[in-house]
Every structure is written in C-alpha cells, then in structure tokens.
Amino acid sequence: MHNDEHQSSQTGFEVGISETGIKLKADSRAISIGDRWFSNWLRKKSFRTDRSAQTDDQLIKLEAQAVERSGEKLLQRIDSDDEFALQVLSIAYSREERRRDNKEGVILAALEHLKSIPSGSEKVDEGPEKLNDEFLDRAERYAEDASTEELRERWGRVLAAEIREPGTFSNKVLRVIDELESDIARLFENFVASNMGGVVPLYLSGPLSFPQQSSLISAGLIVDPGLGNFRKFSKAPLGNTEFWLLNMGEYAAAFPIAPNIPVSSEENGALIKNGKELSIRVYVLTDAGKAISKLVPNNPLIPFGRYIAGLREYIPQNKLLTFRLHPDRTHWVLIGSEEYLEIWPDE
C-alpha cells in the first residue's frame, strides 16, 4: 500500500498517536484504548438502533400522536422558561454522548502527556503490545465520568503512564485516584517532588503539618509514620574498603566507614543517628502512593542533588561517592565514570 493510501485509511485517533513520537509498543497500547473504548460505545449505539427498528408500529404511531399534541405546549413553555429549555437540551444531549465526549477528552489529554514526557527512562519496550482488558474496562468507567477539565487531565495522566509502563495501576490504585480530592492531589503533587525511590526525606520536604499528614494517610498515599520512619545507611564493600551506602531508589550515596562521623543536631538533618545507626528521617509512600507518584513529572536527580548538597556539610567532597543504578538493575554505576558516560552520554 502506498504511503498516501495508508494515511488516508488511518483514523484521526491513530494519526494523533503517530504524532506523539512514542515507540511502537506504546503506539500499539495507545491504539488498543481507542479500539476497545469506542467499539464499546458503537456496540451500545448499534443495540439501541436495532431495538428501535423492532419497536411495534402501533407504539410508534401513538408516540407520534403524543408528540404532535404536546409539541405546541412544549414550545410555548420553552419560549417562556429558560431553565426548562436548558433541561430539554440536556436530555437531548444523551448520557451516552456525554460519556463518549468525556472519554475523548481523556484520550486527548493522554496523547499530550505522551508527547511531552521523555520516554528514555520508561520501560516502553517491555511488556505486552496491548493494555490489559480489565484495566481498560475499569479506566473506561472512570473516564466516562470525567466531566471536568481537571478530571480529564487526571485520567489522561493515568492512561499515559500505563501506556509507558503497563501494570502500574491496580484496581485498588484506580479507586484511590478516583476518590482523591483536588486539594489533596495538589498537596501530594508538591510533596512527591522530593520523592526518591518511594521515600521522601524530611530534610527535603520539611515536616508535614498534622492536617496535611492526616490527609495523605487517609487518602492511602503515605504510611503512618507513628514515632518516625528512617532510611538506614547500610555497609557495602567497594573494592578493599567498606562504605556506608544509602540506597535511594535509582541513586545512592556512599562514604568510607570511619569513627566519629559528624551528624546533624537537627532531627530532620541530612545525616543523623537513630540509636547507633546512621540514617535519615523519611516519609514512606504506600504502594498506591508510589504508583500515583508516577503521574507527577519528576526527575529524581534533582532531589538527589539537593540531598547530596546537604550531606556535604558532614562528609568531605573527596570522600563522598554518588551512584546510579544500571538500567538492568544488576549493579551501581559511579556517576562521572566512563561506564556512566557510555550509558548516559547526555547527562
């Protein structure tokens, strides 16, 4: 088939997908959304059409007579009652059509996110070519009710994230997203700007107020800290030397084990002691919180850099090493090394 013939046979939705510049598997997953959601709508539309065609002729005649007799009075009331006129228009614009338009809005929002979010760090090439039917059916119901721009944006982010990394959102997480109030969503978005590997160091975020903490706990986004959550430094051999290493998801910091390492006198400092162990205080995201944090644009190198700047107050720069997890997750790569520059030449 010639290229122009192929383009003419594409739907507008497929063309919109191709314009995102996403990889082939993500393209296939995105198209699977349109195929399933709008085929569902067409099946319902077809059912209603068939049912109407089978309606008894006599009933149609009676309905026509009723409409004719009431039509004049209806028009008179519409002319004199603006509120009633709006109600009539609302009925005419069927519920199914509103749901279809809501779904279209969600898909368009997803396409915008797929265009604007770099795909380098996502696992686009892994996983199935199509999204899970159970996820699509659940997400469709939420998208049908996305009647505001804010809700369409929210569910558009969900679709975009699921396309990039299938299996991110369980049914439980979808329910949490659906029940998330706008003010809590904004609080969480600001909060997870300091997320590193599923924890948010208090050194970066500062302590939450009691109402803020209660809101995030009630929404199922963070673990109740109780008396406090800590992320410990662990011992790790590097060459012939033992180091203290702090694993923060994609990044890690390390320095040689030595006696009398200085620590912060503040409980939320960049390096403290919890008993005899070097650590930092953190808020811990729940599984739902970790999944939902993927909806928030975040470069983990930024909070990691802020944390390292604080750690340098206690550890000399020539003793402090920073690492990034290898893409195959088998080992740590020293930042600035030849291996690092080969894997991430643009950073």
How much is the pLDDT for 51?
47
Q: How many CA atoms lie within 13 A of 201 on its CB side?
A: 27
Distance between CA atoms of 281 and 271, rounded to whole angstroms? 9
How much is the pLDDT for 18?
46
* Cβ(264)–Cβ(271) below 8 Å: yes
What mean pLDDT value characterizes the chain?
81
Residues 177-215: tens digit of each pLDDT: 999 999 999 999 999 999 999 999 999 999 999 999 999
Q: What does DSSP assign to residue 285? A: B
How much is the pLDDT for 117?
55
**Closest-CA residue to 312 (of 260, 239, 253):** 253
How much is the pLDDT for 314?
96
Q: Percentage of residues in the chain with pLDDT exceeding 70? A: 71
Is pLDDT above 90 for 66? Answer: no
Which contiguous run of DSSP H or E holds residue 323? Answer: strand 321-325
Query: How confident is residue 20, by pLDDT bands cut at 50, 70 and 90?
Result: very low
Q: 282 or 111: whose pLDDT is higher?
A: 282
Is pLDDT above 90 for 54? Answer: no
**Closest-CA residue to 185 (of 140, 226, 150):** 150
Query: How confident is residue 11, by pLDDT bands cut at 50, 70 and 90?
Result: very low
Ranked by mean pLDDT, the top range of 13-17, 18-22, 135-139, 337-341 is 337-341
**Mean of pLDDT values over 27-50:** 57
- pTM > 0.85: yes or no: no
**Mean of pLDDT values over 130-150:** 90
Q: 300 or 122: whose pLDDT is higher?
A: 300
How much is the pLDDT for 185?
94
Residues 221-245: tens digit of each pLDDT: 999 988 679 999 999 998 889 999 9
Least confident of 66-70, 82-86, 213-217, 278-282: 66-70
How much is the pLDDT for 39?
58
How much is the pLDDT for 335?
96
Partners of 281 in beta bridges: 230
* Cβ(301)–Cβ(340) below 8 Å: no
Could you report how far apart the first and last alpha carbons of the chain are, in Å?
Answer: 42
